[in-house]
């Protein structure tokens, strides 16, 4: 569904992605793990159109989206839930969710149905429906950011560090929800995480990125058992 071929991205003269290849298929959960500065967020930002590649191909549902405008990429079913959540603090929970529908046709009934789905998944959001974004806790903000991304009706959801800054128990709940979502709606998930243990637990497949190059890939369970991974990312 998503195929990335020989993707290179540079900030000025500094090459951050040095030709990476990977793919994500329908209904899969794929994790991209790596340490700080390895190029994880750059990969996501390039796929969603916030950055442009210097070379290589990003192919989405068979089409090259290297130069497609950000809004058109969202409209085509590729949603990006950004690092650090970036919810809209001045809008209510409901308005935050509605702003996720900006790229789709204004069909009120379908939008309300999708909002019900988000509230089924994260009942806490429903309790806070009229509260302004800034007044939510970190975990609730993350739920809201994911909910907002879901409101664009994606077929692939890209999550950038959803566990960042959250308490372990909240992370557990959040990851349970992500799995539930994937099972229930067949939504493909591309998960970028520093919390490798959690990511490998829920993913089907995973890639390891180190300074702009993919160094390992395979089924998540296999990677979790790999001694090198255990040493570098899972704390021995």
Partner 1 sequence: MRISPYLALVAAGALSIPLLTHDNYVIQLLNIAILNAIVVLGLNYTTGWTGQINFGQAAFYGLGAYSTALATKFGLPWIAASFSAILVVALASLVLGLPTLRLRTHYLAMTTIGFAEIVRLIIVHWEPVTGGTSGLRDIPGIDLLGWHPQGQIQHYYIMIAVLALAVVVAARIRHSTVGRAMIATKDSEIAAEQSGVDTLRMKLLAFMIGAIYAGIAGCLYASSIRFISPDSFSGTQAVFLMTMLIVGGMGSIPGCVAGALALTILPEALRFLGQWYLVLYGLGVIGIIALLPGGLASVISVRKLRWGHPQ
Q: Give the interface segment with partner 1, choosing from 34-42, 64-72, 211-219, 226-234 (CB under 8 A).
A: 64-72
Euclidean distance between the first and the last CA atom of the chain, given in angstroms as a whole number: 35
The residue among 58 and 206 lying less far from partner 1, judged by its C-beta, is 58
Q: Taking CB under 8 A as the rule, does residue 70 contact partner 1?
A: yes
Token digits for 92?
A: 């209510």
* 2 touches partner 1 by CB under 8 A: no
Query: Which residues between 41 and 60 bind partner 1 (CB under 8 A)?
Result: 48, 50
Three-class SS state of 168: helix
Name the minimum Å distance from CB 36 to partner 1.
20
- What is the footprint of partner 1 within residues 201-230 (CB under 8 A)? none
Cα gap 234→105, rounded to integer Å: 44
Taking the least distance from each CB to partner 1, the nearer of 98 and 117 is 98
Question: Does 106 help bind partner 1 (rule: CB under 8 A)?
Answer: yes
Taking the C-alpha atoms of residue 148 and residue 94, their distance in angstroms, rounded to an integer, is: 9
Find the radius of gyration of the CA atoms of the chain.
17
How many other C-beta atoms are found inside a 10 Å radius of the C-beta of residue 170? 17
Spatial distance between the Cα atoms of 84 and 192, rounded to a whole number of angstroms: 12
Neighbours of 20 (CB within 10 A): 22
Residues 177, 178, 183, 186, CA torsion sign: positive
Report the residue from 2, 24, 32, 74 that binds partner 1 according to the rule CB under 8 A: 74
Q: Output the smallest distance, CB 213 to partner 1, in A.
A: 26
Smallest separation (angstroms) from partner 1 to the CB of 47: 11
Q: Which stretch binds partner 1 (CB under 8 A): 15-23, 93-101, 136-144, 223-231?
A: 93-101
Q: CA 138 from chain center: how many Å? A: 17
Q: How far is the CB of 73 from partner 1 (least distance, A)?
A: 9
Using DSSP, state whether 144 is helix, strand or coil: helix
For the segment 114-143, give every residue that binds partner 1 (CB under 8 A): 130-133, 135
What residues line the site for partner 1 (CB under 8 A)?
48, 50, 69-71, 74-75, 79-82, 86-91, 95, 98-104, 106, 130-133, 135, 145, 148-149, 152
């Amino acid at each position: 569904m998503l195929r990335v071929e020989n993707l290179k991205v540079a900030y000025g003269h500094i090459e951050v992605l040095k030709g990476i290849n990977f793919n994500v298929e329908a209904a899969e959960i794929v994790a991209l793990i790596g340490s700080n500065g390895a190029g994880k967020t750059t990969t996501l930002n390039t796929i969603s159109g916030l950055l442009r590649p210097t070379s290589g191909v990003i192919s989405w549902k068979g089409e090259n989206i290297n130069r497609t405008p950000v809004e058109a990429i969202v409209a085509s079913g590729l949603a990006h839930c950004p690092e650090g959540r970036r919810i809209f603090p001045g809008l209510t929970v409901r308005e935050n969710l509605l702003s996720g529908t900006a790229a789709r046709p204004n069909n009120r009934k379908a939008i309300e149905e999708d909002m019900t789905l988000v509230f089924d998944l994260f009942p806490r959001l429903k309790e806070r429906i009229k509260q302004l974004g800034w007044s939510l806790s970190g975990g609730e903000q993350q739920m809201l950011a994911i909910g907002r991304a879901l409101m664009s009706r994606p077929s692939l959801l890209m999550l950038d560090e959803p566990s960042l800054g959250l308490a372990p128990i909240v992370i557990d709940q959040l990851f349970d929800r992500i799995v539930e979502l994937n099972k229930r709606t067949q939504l493909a998930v591309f998960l970028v995480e520093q919390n490798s243990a959690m990511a490998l637990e829920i993913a089907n497949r995973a890639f390891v990125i180190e300074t702009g190059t993919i160094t390992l890939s395979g089924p998540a369970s296999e990677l979790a058992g790999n001694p090198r991974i255990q040493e570098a990312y899972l704390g021995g």
